[in-house]
Structure 1
């Protein structure tokens, strides 16, 4: 074997070691309405597998009327729910879990964020209040999901104001006098990464300088809201003809200057449905009259898998490499474990920052169709993170066994203590009987 062959072999080995040991963020969103999505069978925080994710983000908080203070929708902090406390209970199982809060979402008026960034004083006020709020409620970071700057009542100037706001907020996070047992607060943003949206609402290469990473929502590229309405997959993996696909957009933002390690690819745990105008025309691109039976809310994989299990034929859009099914006059495009694995593979092969799961409760978390969390587990496989996950589970079981053994030893020592005390009491009683004395005490 010549020297060049040896060097090539060493280089391949080094690259494999670097890739295999890379740690990718697995950012899982948990929505406040998860408890109610499926009646009494909703996903409670206590039932989440705390080892699937590196970060769990509670969505959503909102803003007060001034845009300077974080507020949580009514009911989330009531005594009967106490949802934040329950949310943080996951740390009792996995102490390395990072817990974050997301502010915004579609329900938060864009005009409120516009108030936040309208002046330096408002930005400063928000930063101070946000730090107090996050520390008070034991969160490790903040995600901002503004939908969307320069639209829905927000002026075009807000695109640059948002940049100044993120810069100020990150500076305040970094210069906070941190509690002894806490790390610097994390700052992230969630965005619609399509070129059309970014051209209006974001300056992502500049924003990326002041955030830890960007959650890029690689879903909802299409839906019943498009005019004209056509059945189109909302989260294509590839496409030779349509630029709205995960591979193309992730490559686009790297080329535009967003650092690879700050790109976190959003993976949907749900499908988008359409009611076909003509049930005999079922190909992708078929005309539709509106959303399907999910009424535009999204079709959870936990429900969709039952359709397939009961006979609905899964088909694949060849150039987009994502599946769909037809049920009566309903067209549903979604992701299966293979397409999710391939999306996560884009992250792995290109050294991106990780994946973002939207949302935990939309996957088949109960395993009613087989393996629990089939899509999230597929993402683990795509990231080559299976070994790390299994190691966490093994360590947790060992810790539990050690804790159980420690408790057993404590009880054994206590039992011995009582036994010794009983023996001492018996001796004392015998001695007292011989001397005619009386026991004192209890």
Structure 2
């Protein structure tokens, strides 16, 4: 359990999404002209501008598989607005049980120029940091476990990561092990310790993606030690609810809601998890609060009962661009709202949005919700925000400017 420490709850007056004084870019005509094309990412950036904190990190993941999406969902490196993020992370490189770092998609990453184009962004934007994420949700745990349980493989893996960064021109690496167990607790810390030593010798940046789920982190992470060795932690404060449950729920609620009456449901919000990391020894300034540019979908058991906590029969329909079960990208959600398929609602208790249409229900963050989260970051001394992933935003300006 985390100590019941009082942290600032955000003001009910949220930042307007416009530009102020973060840097020269905040004042630039170029930025203002691009705001409308990146609703969620622009909301993160513009809120940081308005809050006038130049040191905030805005860490943006790019999913290399977005190139395979259809129509307006297709996204590639050339579509990235590099100015809007301080750190850009390319997802993903793979790994095997021998400690090798693997190219996951030879066509996209090498032949199509994914790695080269991604790192070439630094030519015109010298202040950004480009990184490679290693692992990912579909990489499993077997290879990581084999590596950290063998000192020889562990040292080989660390050397291979350094070589991979150097070969392809990245500035650092993000370790995305989903997720170590109690048995790997010490091995995970040792991996980060060895990487820290090697990265310091080469001037590289080290980060790690860590769970936003209490059950995954509570007993498996030595949070204080993990925080010690990384430059920052990307806290995946989303997927709090989904169609694996029996009722509708927000993807990334800032606070607990009236329906969160069980002991476990009280953990399923951003506020609780950020407190947990800080109270467990993580430096607040090393934490990035995760923002999901997508929503979790549900099919209602009864379309007339469509609030938060309503019974469901399963996941929502497949999205038009992604075709993935249980989630819609933000560009899909806002398009469906715009053409009248969905009606947007605001959740006053949890500072989040949801939309309904017939028997379909989706919980997600809109611009208003992101404004509250950015205010929360400032109020609680958190180091920045992380966006998963920028290719799910309204980058083609299909939806236009949101309020």
Partner in structure 1 of residue 139 of structure 2 = 108
2:162 aligned with 1:131, yes or no? Answer: yes
Partner in structure 1 of residue 28 of structure 2 = none
CA separation of 1:193 and 1:97: change in aligned 2, threshold 3 A: same
Deviation at 1:89, TM superposition (A): 2.7
Is 2:212–2:270's contact at 8 Å kept on the other side of the alignment?
no
Partner in structure 2 of residue 280 of structure 1 = 304
Which among 180, 184, 187 is matched to residue 158 of structure 1?
184
- Residues 57-110 of structure 1: per-residue CA shift (max 9 Å, x gap): 0001110242x1110113346654121112223223212111000011121120
Which among 76, 82, 86 is matched to residue 50 of structure 1?
82
2:252 aligned with 1:238, yes or no? Answer: no
Decide which structure has greater helix share: 1
CA separation of 1:126 and 1:344: change in aligned 2, threshold 3 A: same
Which among 364, 367, 376 is matched to residue 394 of structure 2?
364
Partner in structure 1 of residue 7 of structure 2 = none
CA separation of 1:296 and 1:69: change in aligned 2, threshold 3 A: same
Tell me the TM-score normalized by structure 2: 0.80
Correspondence 1:342-357 to 2 at 5 A: 342-357=372-387
Unaligned runs of 5+ in 2: 1-50, 261-265, 319-323
2:280 aligned with 1:251, yes or no? Answer: no
Aligned partner of residue 51 in structure 1, secondary structure: helix
Is 2:298–2:326's contact at 8 Å kept on the other side of the alignment?
no
Tell me the TM-score normalized by structure 1: 0.73
CA separation of 1:104 and 1:368: change in aligned 2, threshold 3 A: same
Taking the aligned partners of 1:127 and 1:252, their CA distance within structure 2 comes to 29
Deviation at 1:338, TM superposition (A): 0.5
More contact order relative to length (CA 8 Å, sep ≥ 6): 2
CA separation of 1:77 and 1:234: change in aligned 2, threshold 3 A: closer
Is 1:234–1:333's contact at 8 Å kept on the other side of the alignment?
yes
Unaligned runs of 5+ in 1: 1-18, 151-155, 179-183, 379-442
Taking the aligned partners of 1:53 and 1:27, their CA distance within structure 2 comes to 6
Partner in structure 1 of residue 339 of structure 2 = 310
Deviation at 1:337, TM superposition (A): 0.2
Partner in structure 1 of residue 112 of structure 2 = 81
